[in-house]
Structure 1
Amino acid sequence: MNPELTTPALDQLAQEGVHFKNAFVTTSLCSPSRASILTGKYAHSHGIVDNLARDFAPDTRFFAQDLQAAGYKTAFIGKWHMGRHKDDPQPGFGHWISFSGQGHYLPDPNTPLNINGKHVPQKGYITDELTDYAVDWLESVKKDDNFFLFLSHKAVHDNFTPAERHKDLYEDVDIKLPVSANSSKGKDSKKPMWVQNQRNSWHGLEFPYHSDLDVRDYKRKYHRAMAAVDESTARIRSVLKEKGFDRDTIIIFMGDNGFMFGEHGLIDKRNAYEESMRVPLIVYSPLSETKPDTVDDMVANIDLAPTILDLAGVNVNREFHGRSFSQQLNGKSAANWRNELLYEYYWEWVFPHTPTTFAIRTPTHKFIQYHGIWDTDELYDLENDPREQHNLIADPKSNAIVRQLRKRIFELIAETDGEHAVPYTMKQGPGLHYRFKEGSEAAHFPEASKRTGTEKDIHRYKD
């Protein structure tokens, strides 16, 4: 799957299953993305727009509730991290193991595990321990049970901490910064000023997490932490085979957000760049009739709920913003499959460096529009510039597509229960504002962003 690291179990899963090459999240942030997986809806609809203490919108229903109502034995094991409920058992899951917030890689006396409403201490490395609990639950499943397991690992969330047995992996591997690392640096950069300025802030390459962290070594730790997740995958598949469940059990492996290690001069996630919103997605289905190796269609986290219900044969009487991609698993074309995907991110006071963002991605272009700041938007030709290094927003040749995509963002929000009201995040402090004192010079307005009075206004919908 990734030539930079060794993941034999995931590689095997991809070889035997279907690799969705263009899988995305609609918000690259833990809580909103996980909520979209569970509901099949955008963040502006389900109400979990940040990682703070928010409740789901009224009448929200998780797809696991539908499975449970249809007679499925269900379990949630791992990181929940949504809404006001810290670690309480949630609707739709008959068996529950979780922890408060992000949890910890290693035992912390202040963050026990919640096992079906009872708090117990974490005993060891969290990836291994969650896998142990998952294996135990699978062992309890009877031969004739229909079952659904949601194994939600903490890994590989930062601060990346590998298991002791993996602490020396990739020690001799030369990890390089990405080719786009300097695309937001210098007077000639056509990136927005907020991106240029963020290089020297919490989520920037030059002052990452307000520290002297070497991003290349940080990525090495990420790779090391991933090793236990790969081993977890192997263990789960092994117990399925031992139980005889491997012949009719569908396995879905997916991330809840992407991550940047210097791309565009940034780290972490939240923004609408490919490295932030793109995620791995592998689906293994022994029931597929004619399995393709890969699927190029754009799929998203909002598609998981309708897909899982479809594969389980559970019909529900409600609308999803996503669609089932079960047809693609059999190598078939789904009628009128999407050719555009909406992305949204809402400003957080705790991490004030990234503005509210709306974006639309098509197979050929991506348009990114920022809300609440005075700055330039972004347009990228994904066919000729897949790493999004050349912002075409000021190119007169782009006027028509900018108008078209800007209008479609507004329409897509309206079509998915949106009210064109940006959620308000109550500010409880100054946020993480610091900049590294040796690099505190503000970004410059590039010449291309300065008007001469002769430009056509590309920001109008009509000529």
Structure 2
Amino acid sequence: MLARLVLALALLALAVPAPAHAQRPNIVFVLADDLSMDLVQYMPRVQAMMAEGASFERFVATNSLCCPSRASILTGRYSHSTGIFRNQPPDGGFEVFTRMEERSTFATSLQDAGYRTAMMGKYLNGYRPGSRFVPPGWTEWVVAGEAYESFNYNLLVKGLGPLPPQTVRHGRRASDYLTDVIARRGRQFIAESVRSGRPFLLKLAPYMPHAPFTPAPRDRDRFPGVKAPRGPLFDAAPLPGAPDWLPRDPLTPDEIARIDRDYRKRVQSVQAIDRMLGDLRAQLVELGVDENTYVVFASDNGFHMGERRLTAGKQGPWDHDIRVPLVVVGPGVTGGRVIDKLAANVDLRPTFEDLAGVRSPAHVEGRSLAPLLLQEPVLSWRDATLVEHHGPPHDASDPDAQDRLAGKPPSYAALRFDAALYVQYDNPKRAPEYYEHGTDPHEQHNLWPTLPEEQRERLARRLAQLRDCGGPDCRILDQGP
């Protein structure tokens, strides 16, 4: 009798589907372009994600420029390891990345583990749909080239099956707005993946709010009174010790008016991204897979608009350029948590792999954020991350080329600590910078001249070690001595 009961219970267990948390989770990753922290206040669906999930207080881009940051996100490696420092060759762009780095990304890892994967929107600067090239790791591919206007662009579309990639032309109809197009295709991919029964990874990369800050037609007249934030750094004169490449003259009334106009367009342009996130999450609930899906929202880099008398741009080492949103909802993530551990864009690849139960390759330099998200014990964590930059783009065709007023920072490397920033320029004639956030949260007072020689040497030595690190050594060195 007992044997029969045991057998019956065993058969019943086999007949009951495994709970959702026991299955490999799905991952939906939305990566915005140039979305700075000050725009989150205008994104109610992102704020809802923050209330229902976890957000990172100190999440930074290790290179405040589109292509280098995206290369580090895909590979989990710093710029000095990927060789991607700028948007164009010889030290950046898709052409350089495709020679070696795209053979190993979070897409190749998860696809090898049985995931359906999709990349939609913006890939890397220099990618051209006309090449008809689909990088390894992607089951589906819906990618544009230089589509910053969000209208009048081509998509290279490759789905599952034997058909070759097809070029799809989009014009100027409201339905052609790029953020909406990839949102629709993303929802279709999710529906097909759920029907297939396989776990999926979907990366959606809209071009907004990158210049020219094109909003969806339905949002063009919204937020009529919004102006750029007038924080302590807005039009602030450089203090003693500030780098010599910062503008010294105050912003003119015309420059301020343009900053306000462009900021308003940025606010308008992120509405479609916010709506995309809401629609995706609603679909996951409707399909019954929300409790087994992580939704991740982030930006490739920050943006300045009037801070330090700079007009619109990025590429600097300060928090307004490198500190960006990272919000995660999903199984095991407690709502309303703000994680204060220092995190970086190189951490996204190992995080996705860890959540999917995939071992990261040895050459990955970032850390998995999964233990922080799931509140698992963490024995040690970094106290610094590396930030790298090669001098400004010299080609006017680069969509991120900046003039002197927007800022043309020369080559530098920096250490972003938990509560400090150290910047060292490659030109030894330029004085380093050191800011302590506890007394100077806006990074205005350069303390380098006051530091004892021993601390200066220690900072320089630590930076040199991280600039030369590779693989697991980076995770040893970022914890300090």
Matching residue of 2:348: 304
Cα offset, 1:206, TM superposition? 5.5
Distance in 1 (alpha carbons) for counterparts of 2:382 and 2:270:
32
Q: CA deviation at 1:140?
A: 1.3
Show the counterpart of 1:179.
232
* Alignment equivalent of 1:319, drawn from 359, 363, 371: 363
The answer for the alignment partner of 2:222 in structure 1 is 169
Residue correspondence of structure 1 range 39-54 to structure 2 within 5 A = 39-52=75-88, 53=93, 54=95
Q: Distance in 2 between matches of 1:72 and 1:232?
A: 22
How far apart in 1 are the matches of 2:303 and 2:64?
A: 9
The structure 2 residue matched to 1:89, chosen from 131, 134, 137, is 134
Provide, for residues 437-461 of structure 1, a one-character-per-residue CA deviation record: whole Å limited to 9, x for no partner. Answer: xxxxxxxxxxxxxxxxxxxxxxxxx
Deviation at 1:372, TM superposition (A): 3.1
Paired position in structure 1 for 2:462: 408
**TM superposition shift of 1:332:** 3.5
Query: Structure 1 361/381 Cα, relative in aligned 2: closer, same or farther at 3 Å?
Result: same
* Higher relative contact order (Cα pairs below 8 Å, separated by 6+ residues): 2
Q: Matched residues in 2 for 1:135 and 1:285: separation?
A: 18
Q: Which amino acid aligns with 2:247?
A: Q
- Counterparts of 2:228 and 2:207, CA distance in 1: 24
- Indicate which of 237, 246, 256 corresponds to 1:195: 246
Please report how far the alpha carbon of residue 165 of structure 1 lies from its aligned counterpart in structure 2 after TM superposition.
1.5
| CA deviation after TM superposition for structure 1 residue 5, in Å | 4.0
Q: Distance in 1 between matches of 2:206 and 2:55?
A: 20
Matched position secondary structure for 2:424:
strand
Code of the aligned partner of 1:133: R
* Corresponding residue of 2:96: 55
Number of the residue aligned with 1:112: 154
Q: Is 1:285 matched up with 2:321?
A: no
Q: Which residue in 2 is equivalent to 1:76?
A: 119
Using the TM superposition, name which of 121-130 and 220-229 deviates more: 121-130
CA displacement at 1:365 relative to structure 2: 1.5
2:191 to 136, 139, 143: 139
Equivalent residue, structure 1, for 2:443? 388
How much identity, in percent, do the aligned residues show?
30
Which range moved further: 375-384 or 82-91? Answer: 82-91
The question of whether the paired residues in 2 share the 8 Å contact of 1:105 and 1:127 is answered with no
State the distance in 2 between where 1:405 and 1:333 align.
Answer: 29
Bigger mean CA deviation after superposition, 81-90 or 342-351:
81-90
Q: For the residues of structure 2 that align with 1:104 and 1:192, how far apart are their CA atoms?
A: 31
Superposition deviation, residue 212 in structure 1: 8.2
Contact 2:363 2:470 in 1 (8 A): no
Structure 2, unaligned stretches of length 5 or more? Answer: 1-36, 159-164, 396-400, 403-407, 473-481
State the partner residue of 1:152: 205
Q: Secondary structure at the match of 1:315?
A: coil
- Tell me if the contact between 2:315 and 2:389 (Cα under 8 Å) persists in the aligned partners: yes
Give yes or no for contact 1:48–1:83 (8 Å, CA) kept in 2: no
Deviates most, 173-182 or 367-376: 173-182
Aligned match of 2:14: none
Q: Secondary structure at the match of 1:265?
A: coil
What root-mean-square deviation, in Å, do the aligned CA atoms of Structure 1 and Structure 2 show?
Answer: 2.5
Aligned match for 2:386, one of 342, 345, 354:
342
Q: Distance in 1 between matches of 2:209 and 2:452?
A: 38
Any conservation in 1 of the 2:150–2:207 contact (CA below 8 Å)?
no
Partner of 2:449: helix, strand, or coil?
A: coil
Structure 1 residue 274 and structure 2 residue 289: aligned? no
TM-score (norm 1): 0.81
C-alpha displacement of 1:183: 3.7
- SS of equivalent to 2:423: strand
Aligned-partner residue type, residue 302 of structure 2: G
Distance 2:209 2:136 in 1: 26
Runs of 5+ in structure 1 lacking a partner? 419-463
Alpha-carbon distance, 1:73 to partner: 0.5
CA distance in structure 2 between the partners assigned to 1:85 and 1:172 by the alignment = 38
Equivalent-residue separation in structure 2 for 1:112 and 1:24 (angstroms): 32
Write the distance in 2 (CA, Å) between the matches of 1:307 and 1:46: 19
Q: Per-residue deviation at 1:21?
A: 0.7
Preserved contact between residue 248 and residue 287 of structure 1 (Cα < 8 Å): no
1:376 Cα shift? 2.2
Between 404-413 and 272-281, report the one with greater CA deviation.
404-413
Alpha carbons of structure 1 residues 370 and 122: separation in structure 2 relative to 1, 3 Å:
same
C-alpha deviation, 1:173, in angstroms: 3.3
Correspondence for 1:21 among 40, 57, 82: 57
Residue in 2 that maps onto 1:246? 290
AA aligned to 1:388 is E
Q: Match of 1:305, SS?
A: helix
State the 1:125 CA deviation: 1.2
Residue in structure 2 matched with residue 263 of structure 1 by the alignment? 307
CA contact (8 A) 2:50 2:336 kept: no
Structure 1 residues 281 and 212: CA distance shift in structure 2, 3 A:
closer
- How far apart, in 2, do the equivalents of 1:333 and 1:195 lie? 43
1:379 aligns with 2:434: yes
C-alpha distance in 2, partners of 1:206/1:119?
45
Task: Give the deviation of 1:107 after TM superposition.
Answer: 2.3
Sort the Cα spacing of 1:106 and 1:302 in 2 relative to 1 into closer, same or farther, 3 A. closer
Candidates 236, 239, 244, aligned match of 2:280: 236
CA distance in 1, matches of 2:445, 2:348: 33
Specify whether residues 296 and 5 from structure 1 end up closer, same or farther in structure 2 by C-alpha distance, changes over 3 A only.
closer
Q: Distance in 2 between matches of 1:147 and 1:314?
A: 14
User: 2:262 — aligned with what?
Assistant: 218
Alpha carbons 2:77, 2:365 under 8 Å: kept: yes
- Shift, 1:164, TM fit: 1.7
- What is the CA distance between 1:133 and its match in structure 2? 1.1
- DSSP 3-state at the match of 1:132: helix
User: Matches of 2:38 and 2:416 in 1, distance apart?
Assistant: 24
- SS of match in other structure, 2:143: strand
Q: Distance in 1 between matches of 2:76 and 2:136?
A: 16
Which residue of 9, 13, 37 maps to 2:73?
37
Q: Kindly provide the amino acid, as one letter, of the partner of residue 336 in structure 1.
A: S
Residue 65 (1) aligns with residue 105 (2): no
In 1, distance between residues paired with 2:307 and 2:454? Answer: 28
Partner SS state of residue 193, structure 1: coil
Displacement after TM superposition at 1:319 (Å): 2.8
Q: Given the superposition, is the C-alpha separation of residues 416 and 171 from structure 1 closer, same or farther in structure 2, using an over 3 Å criterion?
A: same
Instruction: Return the alpha-carbon distance in structure 1 between the equivalents of residues 46 and 452 of structure 2.
Output: 40
Q: How many residues align?
A: 404
1:49-101 Cα offsets, whole Å, 9 max, x none, are 21114412536411110100111001001101245665632111010001113
**Worse-matched range after superposition: 11-20 or 58-67:** 58-67
Where is the helix percentage greater, Structure 1 or Structure 2?
2
Deviation at 1:269, TM superposition (A): 0.8
